[in-house]
Every structure is written in structure tokens, then in C-alpha cells.
């Protein structure tokens, strides 16, 4: 696994939300309810941006049709839609980022 640093830990305070486009990656890093999560920026339903989707109790709601996805598993809670890709958040030194397959 390879660590991809995204931001300084000190910047990732409650309510933090930032979209990153790096090579073929397009993801959102958030801190909500004390949890830091990273997930694909585009909804697996019809590719609406999830950058500004509402997050409550570890669930993100797509702004277009309201589909709800777990930020832990990526599962669509009603089960009709494909899974939202979730990234493994990792902390290293004073940085926060994600782990990528080699
Ligand atoms: S585009 Fe996200 S729920 Fe339809």
C-alpha cells in the first residue's frame, strides 16, 4: 500500500471538506462528527458531484436524487445502486491522506 498525503492534519478540523483531483483520482476528504472519511467525488448513480452532499451520522446524501451511502462501507442504504468507492484514511506524521494499492 502507498500513502498519498492530502492535507496537514492541523487543517482537517470538524466541518472540513475538500475535493481532490489527482491524476485519475477524484475524491472528497471530510471530517464530520469527529470522523475523517474519504470517498469518490461522483455519485455512482448518475455521477452527480457529492462534494456538497449532506452528511449525517456517517451517511452521505446525494444532492440530485437523495440516495444515501454509508461512508464506512460505501453501500447504498436501499440497495438499488452500486457502491460508492470509499478510501482508507491514513495518518502519517502531521499529514492525513489515503492508502492506495501499489
Ligand atoms: S445522481 Fe446521485 S442519486 Fe442520482
Sorted by where each begins, the domain ranges of the chain are 2-100
Using a cut of 0.85, tell me whether the model's pTM lies above it: yes
List all residues whose CB is within 6 A of at least one atom of ligand 1.
Answer: 43, 45-46, 48, 62, 64-65, 67
Ligand 1 center–CA 15 separation, angstroms:
23
- Cα separation, 16 vs 24, in Å, equals 23
Q: Which CATH superfamily is domain 2-100 in?
A: Rieske [2Fe-2S] iron-sulphur domain (2.102.10.10)
User: Which pLDDT value is given to residue 61?
Assistant: 97
- Rounded to the nearest whole angstrom, what is the distance from the C-alpha of residue 102 to the centroid of ligand 1? 30
| Residue 102: pLDDT over 90 | no
Task: For 61-98, write each residue's pLDDT tens digit.
Answer: 999 999 999 999 999 999 899 999 999 999 999 999 99
How many other CB atoms sit within 10 Å of the CB of residue 56? 10
CA distance 87 to 73: 10
pLDDT at 43: 98
Q: Please give the full DSSP string across 67-93, using - where no structure is assigned.
A: -EEETTT--BTTSSSPPPPEEEEEEET
Q: pLDDT per residue over 42-63, tens digit each?
A: 999 999 999 999 999 999 999 9
Please give the number of the atom of ligand 1 that sits closest to the Cα of 81: 3
Amino acid at each position: 500500500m502507498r500513502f498519498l498525503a492530502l492535507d496537514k492534519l492541523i487543517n482537517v478540523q470538524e466541518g472540513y471538506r475538500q475535493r481532490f483531483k489527482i491524476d485519475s483520482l477524484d475524491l472528497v476528504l471530510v471530517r464530520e462528527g469527529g470522523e475523517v472519511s474519504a470517498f469518490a467525488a461522483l455519485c455512482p448513480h448518475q455521477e452527480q458531484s457529492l462534494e456538497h452532499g449532506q452528511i449525517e451520522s456517517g451517511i452521505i446524501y446525494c444532492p440530485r436524487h437523495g440516495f444515501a451511502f454509508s461512508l464506512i462501507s460505501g453501500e447504498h442504504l436501499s440497495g438499488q445502486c452500486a457502491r460508492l468507492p470509499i478510501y482508507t484514511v491514513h495518518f502519517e506524521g502531521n499529514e492525513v491522506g489515503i492508502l492506495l494499492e501499489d
